[in-house]
């Protein structure tokens, strides 16, 4: 299983052999769904909360005496039925939204997403993305040459120059730039095309085998 490797000019310079245990599998849709659900759950802050009657300020004194007024019995103006009173069964910070998922399932989801992209010819491999300094202009020119500028593109860089690559692509519309060791199911499924460097391909394969 091979894929062409191109340079910044879009010219083929070599071929790269891919691991069939990753790129050649049949995509597992359920694993991808479960992994995406788990990933989105980790993004929930869980900081929303309301105050119960024990936490609302005031209400220490009984509003009126128990009998003789003609009104219903009331013990506190901070009871739930009062305006400004405590909330019953409201959300609090004790709730945990995390969805546990076995490591094998998470890996299978990543493999499935990569395999689906490869089988649909949405993977592009470039020999390197070397910039002397962060440059959005150069990154955009490279994407135009590779015919990726008009697509939702995920750029996966190696570790050696990740900061320069990420800074070069972070201001481009419809473009997401991450390091190979940060690859995740959300970015893979959200992108139409994925641009890998050869270094990134090796890092991802080593992590998934």
Is the CB of residue 200 less than 8 Å from the CB of residue 124? no
Q: How confident is the model at residue 93 (pLDDT cuts 50, 70, 90)?
A: confident
Q: For position 92, what pLDDT does the model report? A: 86
* Chain segment 20-66, per-residue pLDDT in tens: 999 999 999 999 999 999 999 999 888 889 999 989 998 788 999 99
For the cut 90, the answer to whether the pLDDT of residue 1 exceeds it is no
In angstroms, the CA 184 to CA 204 distance is 11
Q: How many residues does the chain have?
A: 209
| Residue bearing the bigger pLDDT, 95 or 152 | 152
Q: For position 94, what pLDDT does the model report? A: 81
């Amino acid at each position: 299983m091979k894929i062409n490797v191109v340079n910044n000019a879009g010219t083929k310079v070599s071929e790269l052999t891919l691991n069939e245990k990753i790129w050649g599998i049949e995509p597992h849709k359920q694993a991808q769904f479960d992994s995406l659900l788990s990933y989105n759950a980790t993004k929930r802050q869980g900081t929303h909360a309301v105050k119960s009657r024990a936490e609302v300020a005031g209400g220490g004194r009984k509003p009126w005496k128990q009998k003789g007024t003609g009104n219903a019995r009331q013990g506190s103006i901070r009871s739930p039925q009062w305006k400004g009173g405590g909330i019953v069964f409201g959300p609090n910070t004790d709730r945990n939204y995390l969805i546990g998922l076995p490591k094998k399932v998470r890996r299978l989801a990543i493999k499935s997403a990569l395999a689906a992209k490869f089988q649909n010819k949405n993977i592009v491999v470039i020999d390197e993305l070397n910039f002397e300094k962060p440059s959005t202009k150069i990154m955009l020119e490279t994407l135009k040459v590779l015919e990726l500028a008009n697509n939702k593109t995920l750029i996966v860089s190696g570790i050696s120059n990740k900061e320069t690559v990420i800074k070069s692509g972070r201001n481009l519309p419809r473009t997401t730039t991450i390091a190979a060791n940060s690859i995740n199911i959300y970015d893979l499924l959200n992108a139409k095309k994925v641009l890998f460097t050869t270094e990134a391909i090796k890092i991802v394969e080593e992590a998934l085998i």
